[in-house]
Structure 1
Amino acid sequence: MVRIGYTMMTEQAGPRELVGHLVRAEETGFDFSVTSDHYFPWLRAQGHSPYAWSVLGAAAQATSRIPLMTYVTCPTFRYHPAVVAQKAATVQSLSQGRFRLGLGSGENLNEHVVGGGWPTADIRHERFVEAVEIIRALFEGGHVNYRGKHFDVESAKLWDLPDSPPPIGMAVSGERSCELAGRLGDLVIATEPKPELLDAFDRHGGAGKPRVGQLPVSYDPDRDTAVQRAHEQFRWFGNGWKVNSELPHPDSFEAATQFVTPDDVAASIPCGDDPEAFVEAVRPYAEAGFTEIALVQIGGDAQYSFLDWSEKTLLPALREALGGS
């Protein structure tokens, strides 16, 4: 059974709009939701980047069924891991057990704002491991003292713990991150339908754990409008993670994607209103072994039309083709 999710893309809508979109997504029948956690949008055309954790708190109160998840939070630069643990425990309590904490090693785009430079990937992984260890220790209750290479924690304690701690998901893009996710995570997160990522996750202890993927889509009854919107706001998506994690500013993404054409974008992102094209874009994730797939509808002003179409057309087509609830 493949579960189909909805993405609150904080880079393309304001906080009140995001919560309204999620309420409608719950009514539409999406199986779960995920939320990006950014300080900057990828491109200026997206135009937003509210504080994801305030949005999550409001979303937890405005909805009653749909699961919530960060996709993903970096617990090593902008946020100290002890603070991430407190935020996650609070959202888990507010949502009555519907929250999962998705974590990743971060992007320069969002983390540079606190200064200190942007270290190499091996250092980011070291910091990531320490952060997950701290968060798990705090979820267990009691006072936590931690002395690491990168983080210290001095007699910290979470005073409002949920009945069960949020499961921890870890984002992967290569062998090393898969090893960490298999060993330390409760689920794995990826943005590409690569079976080798899930194979590596399984080899390192991830067998049987949930695996969550994500892909952008651009619905519009007019395909040219859908393609133009996708090009304007999402042409960065094809850069690949090694590039996207290093660029420091929306202007950097503008420069890096200046030669990407609308046809290039339309070749990798389903655009228009043909449900079969969307099904075929999702299918590689299901065939790779992903158990959950979150869709990102591109464009903050296109959400309600997408959700109406999803309820009537897309979700039934996906569930018929791929199986689902």
Structure 2
Amino acid sequence: MSAPEAMTYGYFLACEDYGPHELVEQARMAEQAGFTSLWISDHYHPWTTAQGHSPFVWSVIGALAGATSLPVQTAVTCPTVRTHPAVVAQAAATSAVMLGEDRFRLGLGSGEALNEHILGTGWPEASVRLEMLEEAIGVIKQLLTGKEVSHYGRHYTVENARLFDVPDTPVPLDVAGFGEAAIELAGRVGDGFVTMDADAEAVARFRRAGGASFQPVRGGTKVCYDTDRANAVRTVRERWPNMFLPGELPQVLPTPAHFEQASALVTDQHVEDSPVACGDDPEEHVRALSAYAGFDAVHVNQIGPDVRGFFDFYRTKVLPQLTS
């Protein structure tokens, strides 16, 4: 089984699950294993205490600029509540300058209460969050031009702001979405679409909403490499049970403790019935990634402690099948 020739395969650095030094080392291993790009999450909290980390993404990206030659994308940054869009624009511009030509893309999304409520300003309902996201994206685009910007909007004010260090080419802004309104927003204002689901209808909706065929669609997925498949299933349930919570619940629960309470309902069978590849059968992993046929790239994250085993497994058994 092989995937379309145009698809590329990247590694997803999980800031919720590893500290900054480990993330940089994983990026090096990913490049050595044959992955061609990096995603990195932007969180203030982990989903659960079993994950137990949340380094500042922009500091890690600075280290990645010197550690690898791979392109990097945040997956994703919320520029609406915890961090003002003018600050996100500055962080993105500096990251792009440090990484070099065409090596940084800014992934943006409407966020989760888990990370965004921490300043005590409240967590708006979904429709307001999307309205804030659209305005924030407009502010970021203006600032990334390097011109002086003043903006007086419904949600954000910017006065006489100018970024003096910007890359020579504009930073692409890719937008995440899983509901109809969010996907349509991505199509209207994004330079690309990012999603954790191998959902062909979501991609079609993005295109119908204005996402042209040349605008990339990038996916992400999680797997658990382990020589014992049953242990892999248990590891997924214990470390990433939040993946199996339904509907809008992951967007509104405010603390890791709340996620742990809700995740008590998740069983090994939920993992077995999911598309998460578990174990050391290369064909299962190839099938999981091939579900993203039609995407431009898919980024894989290893759940569990055997990270070196994962990279060796993908270098020798999985990526050769996908890229042949």
> How many Å apart are 1:234 and its aligned residue?
1.2
The answer (yes or no) to whether the contact 2:244–2:266 under 8 Å persists in 1 is: no
Deviations along 1:29-83, one digit per CA (max 9) or x if unpaired, are: 102110000011111101111111101110111112x110000000001110000
The structure with more helix, counted as a fraction of residues:
1
Q: For the residues of structure 1 that align with 2:210 and 2:190, how far apart are their CA atoms?
A: 9
What letter matches 2:252 in structure 1?
Answer: E
The secondary structure found in structure 2 opposite 1:206 is: coil
Deviates more, 1:261-270 or 1:135-144: 261-270
Q: Which residue of 2 aligns with 1:148?
A: 153
What letter matches 2:315 in structure 1?
Answer: E
Output aligned runs, 1:194-273, within 5 Å. Answer: 194-208=199-213, 209-240=215-246, 242-268=248-274, 269-273=276-280
Q: Which residue of 2 aligns with 1:303?
A: 307
Q: Which residue of 2 aligns with 1:82?
A: 86
The secondary structure found in structure 1 opposite 2:193 is: strand
The secondary structure found in structure 2 opposite 1:163 is: coil
The secondary structure found in structure 2 opposite 1:10 is: coil
Q: Which residue of 1 aligns with 2:282?
A: 275
The answer (yes or no) to whether the contact 1:173–1:241 under 8 Å persists in 2 is: no
What letter matches 1:183 in structure 2?
Answer: R
Q: For the residues of structure 2 that align with 1:273 and 1:57, how far apart are their CA atoms?
A: 34
Output aligned runs, 1:73-152, within 5 Å. Answer: 73-97=77-101, 98-152=103-157
Q: For the residues of structure 2 that align with 1:274 and 1:302, how far apart are their CA atoms?
A: 15
> How many Å apart are 1:263 and its aligned residue?
2.5
Deviates more, 1:40-49 or 1:174-183: 174-183
Q: Which residue of 2 aligns with 1:161?
A: 166
User: Residue 175 of structure 2: which of 158, 161, 170 is its match?
Assistant: 170
Q: Which residue of 2 aligns with 1:67?
A: 71
The secondary structure found in structure 2 opposite 1:217 is: strand
Q: Which residue of 2 aligns with 1:323?
A: none
> How many Å apart are 1:241 and its aligned residue?
5.2
Which TM-score applies when normalising by structure 1? 0.95
The secondary structure found in structure 1 opposite 2:151 is: strand
The secondary structure found in structure 2 opposite 1:142 is: coil
Gaps of 5+ in 2: 1-5
The secondary structure found in structure 2 opposite 1:13 is: coil
The secondary structure found in structure 1 opposite 2:10 is: strand
> How many Å apart are 1:130 and its aligned residue?
0.8
Residue 195 of structure 2 is aligned to residue 190 of structure 1: yes
What letter matches 1:94 in structure 2?
Answer: M
What letter matches 1:184 in structure 2?
Answer: V
Residue 49 of structure 2 is aligned to residue 56 of structure 1: no
The secondary structure found in structure 1 opposite 2:60 is: helix
User: Residue 24 of structure 1: which of 23, 29, 32 is its match?
Assistant: 29
Q: For the residues of structure 2 that align with 1:33 and 1:54, how far apart are their CA atoms?
A: 15
Query: Could you say if the C-alpha distance between residues 23 and 163 of structure 1 is closer, same or farther in structure 2, counting changes exceeding 3 Å?
Result: same
Q: For the residues of structure 2 that align with 1:192 and 1:142, how far apart are their CA atoms?
A: 37
Query: Could you say if the C-alpha distance between residues 33 and 185 of structure 1 is closer, same or farther in structure 2, counting changes exceeding 3 Å?
Result: same
What letter matches 1:109 in structure 2?
Answer: L
Aligned-pair identity in percent equals: 46
The answer (yes or no) to whether the contact 1:144–1:155 under 8 Å persists in 2 is: yes
Cα RMSD for the two superposed structures: 1.1
The answer (yes or no) to whether the contact 1:219–1:273 under 8 Å persists in 2 is: yes
Q: Which residue of 2 aligns with 1:291?
A: 296
Q: For the residues of structure 2 that align with 1:302 and 1:94, how far apart are their CA atoms?
A: 31
The secondary structure found in structure 1 opposite 2:16 is: helix
Q: For the residues of structure 1 that align with 2:159 and 2:180, how far apart are their CA atoms?
A: 33
Q: For the residues of structure 1 that align with 2:224 and 2:272, how far apart are their CA atoms?
A: 9
> How many Å apart are 1:199 and its aligned residue?
1.1
Q: For the residues of structure 2 that align with 1:36 and 1:81, how far apart are their CA atoms?
A: 17
Q: For the residues of structure 2 that align with 1:255 and 1:141, how far apart are their CA atoms?
A: 46
User: Residue 179 of structure 1: which of 184, 187, 190 is its match?
Assistant: 184
Q: For the residues of structure 2 that align with 1:249 and 1:187, how far apart are their CA atoms?
A: 30
Residue 8 of structure 2 is aligned to residue 3 of structure 1: yes
Q: For the residues of structure 2 that align with 1:221 and 1:25, how far apart are their CA atoms?
A: 20
The secondary structure found in structure 2 opposite 1:150 is: coil
User: Residue 44 of structure 1: which of 35, 44, 49 is its match?
Assistant: 49
Gaps of 5+ in 1: 321-325
